[in-house]
Amino acid sequence: MSALLLAATLLAAAPAPAAEPPPPLSPGLEGAPVRVERRLLVKNSHFFFTLGADYFIRGDYYVSPGVVGAASFYLTEHDGLDIKVGAFLSFMSPAAQVVFQSVHLIPDAQRPVALLVAGYRRSVGYGKVMLNGLMDSLLHFDLQIAGHAGIVITDRMASPALSVAPALLVRFSDRWFAQVDVELYASYETRQSAPFVVGILPTFTAGVVL
């Protein structure tokens, strides 16, 4: 107890610790050091042409795989314009086929046949990934958001459509790359039920940059 009292007394009597002088500024430094890297996935003023597969999911009794081609041109490293053309190999889903055969009713939904849209892409991030520390596995990619407008051609009409999508542009080499989009589509179709149709269109394409 007496020891504690002594310690408390000493602490109370001790002068306040002098204020630490500010650390000297690092010479020539403004801000903080960074690591700098030259961008490998360069898009500015380049054309990107891709071709690949997609799958239109609309919950409309149709199975709609397809092929899609796109051409993009980037005005800056962040901003690009593109056009997409796609064709769907749609067919009635097995469940709808059973209903049709049993009650002879066909879905009110329209069968997607083709797609033609144009839009805008915005790069919002840049990243890279390396697997197990293998230098050869290092991939650089661009995280994007995209918005498109155009038409979805069905077996009955050409319906206006809008889409937004998160996207990934992955660099394989100076020439080759891949593009992954997961688009959320909304289109207008004349049907007896609600005319607005919403769907998801994942696409995977690969192509060249020029």
Partner 1 sequence: MGAALLSFALAASAADPFADAFWHKDLGLLVALLAEPGDWREDEARALFADLVRLVNCEPLPPIPNADPTPLREERQLIRLERARRARLGAAAASSATLWRDILSTAFFNRALGAGPEGTVLFWPVETEKWSNEALRAKVRASACAAVGAATAPGQAKSATELELASDVLLLNLRRAAAPDKTLRPAAARLAYQRAVLLARAGQTEAAKQAAAQILPPELLGPALSKYALLLRLELGVDPPEGYAALYGQSFGANQAAVDERLAYGLHRSGSWALLEKVTAAPRAMAPAALCDKAGSPLPRDLLYRHALAQEKLGATAEVDAVLAQAFPACASLTEPAVDALKDLAITHYARRTLDAALEQRLKELDPPGRLARDVQKLGARALHAGNLTTAGMAMGWLITDRTATGRARGWVLEAEIAYALQDGKRFDRAVQSIFPDPAFDSLRAHERDERDRAVEELAQALVTTAEDEADADFRKRLHAQLPVWRERAAIKREPSFNALLAALESRPVPLGGDKRKRPTAEVAVGSIQVAPPEAVIPPPEVQFDWPEPYSLLAVPPPPGAPRGADFRAWFGEGDDAKR
Q: Which residues bind partner 1 (CB under 8 A)?
A: 24, 26-40, 42, 44, 76-78, 126, 128, 130, 135, 138
Q: What is the dihedral of CA 6, 10, 12, 18, to 10 degrees?
A: -160
For the bound state, the minimum distance from the C-beta of residue 40 to partner 1, rounded and expressed in Å, comes to: 8
Q: Per DSSP, what are the bridge partners of residue 177?
A: 171, 207
For the bound state, the minimum distance from the C-beta of residue 33 to partner 1, rounded and expressed in Å, comes to: 4
Task: Select 96 or 209, whichever has its Cβ closest to partner 1.
Answer: 209
Residue 144 near residue 166 (C-beta atoms within 8 A): yes
Task: Select 6 or 40, whichever has its Cβ closest to partner 1.
Answer: 40
Residues 66 and 201: their CA atoms lie apart, in Å, by 10
Task: Select 77 or 188, whichever has its Cβ closest to partner 1.
Answer: 77
CA torsion through residues 25, 30, 32, 37, sign: negative
For the bound state, the minimum distance from the C-beta of residue 24 to partner 1, rounded and expressed in Å, comes to: 7
Task: Select 42 or 168, whichever has its Cβ closest to partner 1.
Answer: 42
